[in-house]
Amino acid sequence: MLILGLNMFHADASAAIVQDGKIVFAIAEERLNRIKHYAGFPSLAIQACLKAAGAKIGDIDHIAVGQDSDANLSEKIRYAFANPAKLLNFVKLRQRKQQMRDVRELIATNIQCDPAALRFRVHHLEHHIAHVASAYYCSPWEQAAGFSYDGSGDFVSTMMARCQGNDIQVLDRVFLPHSLGSFYTMICEFIGYNKYGDEGKVMGLAPYGKDTYVSQVRDLLMTSASGFELDLEYFKPLGSNEGMQIKPDGTVELARHFSGRMAELFGPPRDPESEITQRDMDLAYAMQHCFEEVFFHLLHELHNRVPLPNLAMAGGCALNSVANGKLFSRTPFRKTWIQPAAGDEGLAIGAALHTYHAVLGYPRSCVMKDSYLGPEFTDSEIEASLKSAGLKYRKLERGPLLDTVADRITAGDVVGWFQGRMEWGPRALGNRSIVAHPGLPNMKDVLNARIKRREWFRPFAPSILEERQAEYFEHDHPSPFMLHVYKIRAEKREQLCAVNHVDDTGRLQSVARDENPLYYDLIRAFERKSGIPVILNTSFNENEPIVCAPEEAVSCFQRTKMDAIAIGPFVALKSEN
């Protein structure tokens, strides 16, 4: 039984293939076509899924799409009629979406195959059910509270669900224009971060701010008995494109979310090229603070209806690792399982697993223990990319490889670490990572000057041996996908100064040996030399999608001032090249 899950014509287009209930392979199109957040049709991702499963498109039994343009239609129509200026746009968009429902035609055109050879059935699944499914069906639990929240999807921004056995029962939805994701995006735009996906950056700015505007920003975002509401005076109407526009080349552009009322209250919006002021930091602080208040309020409501300790969560806002880190002390939930691809690429997995379990009724069997669902490359493919780049390199056995890299990190070098299968989701988790010493005071500046060129306020993340987490962090709930921010214990902050954020927190990755033995052993090798069971881990890229293939890693190594690259069993040094 082969099921292909798709997220298409939507930000972070992706494909995933599920064979007899097991996720065989999953990838976002951006990693293959190198266009960040690509929002067209995921042709390359589909072909990569088929190749990994050793299948042809004619072998696929079901295609599951994490979008259903017929879902919540009455709410969409009601909104369109209340905003007559947007009515024509709504009609056009609906026509376009109807065309996109012909999956057979889309596959035949984009994968170039004979339509007569296609025998799959097509299933469309509402956006947020697919998000919840991407978390719950990957979790080890037989029952859980399900929660999804983001900017929008199928005209909904928030969903609460009861998950039990094979079923996901929707309990509640928050409809547009009310959206926690839109609220966050609007303030990010107002303070000069107006690109799709910038929200994660601004989360790092919030702790630099003070409690200046919390009470004013709270007026924009009010909790209610049923959930929350935005004060729409501060927002431009989203329109039927739900706040973003997909360009013909598949890139995503955000519509302006804030209205003139924001400037009346807070002064002019920040020009993205200008300095960040205390006003901007204070607004970032208020934004994160108020977002968390509403998030915890919603989780309390959910727990009242589904009084279980387990929370299965996804949706773009579930990448708010600061809020995730606090939920154990601020809500009754005790355990989280958050889909590593919490954003919209995760819809491909959610839709496929929902079809397998809820539609076809097959029992639960899949637990997603790690995120290494992408492509891998043979030693000879890797060696060919080093040779064609003209690099000098050495081939090492496992032990000497770990020893050499650990030595380099201890000496303060920045090392590209490319191993095994690529991660699924936006985080590099030790297979497509750049690794460095977490305890050198200048390491953040070194990384930014030489490779990453990130905003000064964004922290770098620590990977820690799972069993040592409680020694270094104030929470011991594991964070295998780097989705929780915890306080670093006072006595360890100096040892972790390069990954200790201004509020003494770190967005950690807990590394268990059975989930990634090679990366775990690298951290152990580093600990033997430095006494620290932690490595600084940042994604292997330079203002581009994370590297996928060896050629991209080698090119990044050559373009930047990385000191060394460990790629498969090969090591190349900048000093020798």
Indicate which residues carry an active-site annotation: 10
The distance of closest approach from Cβ of residue 316 to Fe ion in the complex, given in angstroms and rounded to an integer, is 5
Interface characters, 32-71, with Fe ion (x: CB under 5 A): ----------------------------------------
Q: Which residue is nearest to Fe ion (CB)?
A: 150
Tell me if the bond preceding 177 is cis, omega within 30° of 0: yes
Give the nearer residue to Fe ion in terms of CB position, either 148 or 509. Answer: 148
Rounded distance between C-alpha atoms, residue 269 and residue 419, angstroms = 43
Rounded CA separation 186/182 (Å): 6
Helix (H) or strand (E) holding 52: helix 43-53
Least distance between Fe ion and beta carbon 150 (Å): 4
* Smallest separation (angstroms) from Fe ion to the CB of 503: 28
Which DSSP string corresponds to 293-338? HHHHHHHHHHHHHS--SEEEEESGGGG-HHHHHHHHHHSS--EEEE
Full DSSP string of 412-446: T--EEEE-SSPPSSS---SSEEEEE-TT-TTHHHH
Q: For residues 7 and 43, which CB has a smaller minimum distance to Fe ion in the complex? A: 7
Q: Does 199 bind Fe ion (CB under 5 A)?
A: no
Q: Which of 432, 319, 331, 298 is nearest to 374 (CA)?
A: 432
Angle between helices 398-410 and 517-530 (to 10 degrees): 50
Asked if residue 420 lies in contact with residue 518, where contact means CB atoms within 8 angstroms, the answer is yes
How large is the greatest C-alpha to C-alpha distance in the chain, in angstroms?
68
Rounded to whole angstroms, how far apart are CA atoms 568 and 550?
9
* Strand order through the sheet with 121-124: 22-28, 14-19, 2-7, 62-65, 121-124
CB of 312 to Fe ion, least distance (A): 15
Distance, in Å, from the CA atom of 188 to the CA atom of 198, rounded to the nearest integer, reads 7
Distance CA 66, CA 16 (A): 11
Neighbour count for residue 226 (Cβ, 10 Å): 9
Q: Which stretch binds Fe ion (CB under 5 A): 156-164, 279-287, 337-345, 449-457?
A: 337-345
Stretch that binds Fe ion, among 88-96, 326-334, 340-348, 466-474 (CB under 5 A): 340-348
State the CB neighbour count (10 A cutoff) for residue 103.
20
| Residue 292: CB atoms within 10 Å | 17
- Lookup: tokens for 407: 């030595």
Shortest CB 539 distance to Fe ion, Å: 21
Smallest gap from residue 480 Cβ to Fe ion (A): 22
User: Quick one: how far is CA 411 from the chain centroid?
Assistant: 32
344 binds Fe ion (CB under 5 A): yes
Smallest distance from Fe ion to CB 304, Å: 25
Shortest Å, Cβ 345 to Fe ion: 10
Among the residue ranges 34-42, 159-167, 192-200, 341-349, the one whose residues contact Fe ion (CB under 5 A):
341-349
Report if residue 345 touches Fe ion, rule: CB under 5 A.
no
* Contact window for Fe ion (CB under 5 A) among 9-17, 165-173, 278-286, 339-347: 339-347
Q: Report the alpha-carbon angle 540-544-547, nearest 5.
A: 40
Token readout for 117 is: 């050879």
| Of 153 and 533, CB closest to Fe ion | 153
Is 29 or 344 the residue whose CB approaches Fe ion more closely?
A: 344
46 or 318, CB closer to Fe ion? Answer: 318
E strands, 91-181, where? Answer: 121-124, 143-153, 156-164, 167-175
The least CB distance from residue 35 to Fe ion, in Å, is: 19
Closer Cβ to Fe ion, 150 or 370, answer by number: 150
Phi, psi angles (nearest 5°) of residue 170: -75, 130
Q: Which one, 342 or 485, has the nearer CB to Fe ion?
A: 342
Phi and psi at residue 182, to the nearest 5°: -65, -40
When the beta carbons of 199 and 344 are compared against Fe ion, the nearer one is 344
The CB-based long-range contact list for 560-564 (8 Å cut-off, 24+ gap) reads 560/450, 560/451, 561/414, 561/449, 561/450, 561/451, 562/414, 562/415, 562/416, 562/434, 562/450, 562/451, 563/408, 563/413, 563/414, 563/415, 564/405, 564/408, 564/413, 564/414, 564/415, 564/416
Window 138 to 167, contacts with Fe ion (CB under 5 A): 150, 153
Choose between 153 and 462: whose C-beta lies nearer to Fe ion.
Answer: 153
Q: How far is the CB of 344 from Fe ion (least distance, A)?
A: 5
Decide whether 126 or 423 has the Cβ nearer to Fe ion.
126
Inter-residue contact 364 to 31 (CB < 8 Å) = no
Number of residues binding to Fe ion, judged by CB under 5 A: 3
Q: Report the residue number, 128 or 270, with the smaller CB distance to Fe ion.
A: 128
Q: Tokens for 61?
A: 């039994």
Stretch that binds Fe ion, among 226-234, 336-344, 441-449, 457-465 (CB under 5 A): 336-344
- CB of residue 179 vs Fe ion: minimum separation in angstroms? 11
Binding site for Fe ion (CB under 5 A): 150, 153, 344
